Amino acid sequence: MGKQNRWKDHYTDRAREEKWLARSVYKLEEIDKKHRLIRRGQRLLDLGCYPGSWSQYCIKRVGDRGEVTGIDLKQPDRFSAPNFRFIEADIFHLDTDWLAREVGQRDAVISDLAPQTTGVRVADASRSLDLAERALEIALAVLKKNGHFLCKIFEGEDLKAFRDRSHSYFSQMRLIRPSAVRKRSREVYLLGLNRVKQ
């Protein structure tokens, strides 16, 4: 069996049938259904949006009066919508003050940012943590009071410290492993509900 085939599963087939750009959409859908994260008319920021399945899903959920901005190193080339805006950027080189002026206040910031994995667990977890830390900084710059933050992170020894630190900004914090996460994957999602403003 080729490497590509080993990675295919029923979520991959379902995504193709349902015309989603990636199987990752089912992770967001599960979290959204359970925690009522996304509502009509909201303004969202999607970090690490390529190829675009999360943004596709969000556009559907927020409807015509809502809006989604996606950021990635790579431009989604199979997805566009009148209320979707793409910013091509490396999140580590993005000026958060500029971003806050450019996109305004957001109801939720969702991050599926992932590093290029090396197979070395500790190194991959550390790079994922760097992305998650930066996603949190960006979220804090643009989130409204009571806004939500969803963030992918690889399990590692610093996860608990990051979770505890993030918790100080949100009234509730959850650690979630959606069913669509592959069995061997170390990824989990942190969900901060209701941003507390000091």
Ligand X SMILES: C[S@@+](CC[C@H](N)C(=O)[O-])C[C@H]1O[C@@H](n2cnc3c(N)ncnc32)[C@H](O)[C@@H]1O
Taking CB under 6 A as the rule, which mask of x and - marks residues 74-93 in contact with ligand X? Answer: x---------------xxx-
Tokens for 161, please give them.
Answer: 């410290």
The answer to the question of residue 100 lying near ligand X (CB under 6 A) is: no
- With binding defined as CB under 6 A, does residue 128 bind ligand X? no
Q: Which residue, 31 or 113, is less far from ligand X as judged by CB?
A: 113
Specify the pairing of strand 84-88 against strand 106-111.
Answer: unpaired
Minimum separation from the CB atom of position 54 to ligand X (A): 4
Q: Which of 11, 45, 48, 151 binds ligand X (CB under 6 A)?
A: 48
Q: Given CA atoms 28, 31, 33, 38 in this order, what sign does their dihedral have?
A: negative
Q: 75 vs 167, which CB is nearer to ligand X?
A: 75
Q: How far is the CB of 50 from ligand X (least distance, A)?
A: 4
CB of 76 to ligand X, least distance (A): 8
User: Which residue of 15, 58, 103, 113 would you call a contact of ligand X, by CB under 6 A?
Assistant: 113
Nearest to 6 by CA among 182, 141, 131: 182
187 is a contact residue toward ligand X (CB under 6 A): no
Site for ligand X contains 173 (CB under 6 A): no
- The CA distances from residue 180 to 24, 132, 135, 139, 168, in Å, are 7, 20, 22, 25, 29
Rg for the chain, CA atoms, rounded:
16
Residue 157 to residues 132, 150, 163, 181: CA-CA distances in angstroms? 14, 20, 11, 20
Among residues 11, 99, 106, the alpha carbon closest in space to that of 62 is found at 106
Q: Of 33 and 160, which CB lies nearer to ligand X in the complex structure?
A: 33
Which of residues 145 and 184 has its CB atom nearest to ligand X in the complex?
A: 184
Lookup: tokens for 188: 């989990």
Give the residue numbers marked as catalytic.
Answer: 152
Question: From the list 87, 100, 114, 173, which residue makes contact with ligand X (rule: CB under 6 A)?
Answer: 114
Beta bridge partners of 149: 109, 192
Of positions 53, 69, 128, 166, contacts ligand X by CB under 6 A: 53
To the nearest whole angstrom, how small is the minimum distance from the Cβ of residue 15 to ligand X?
9
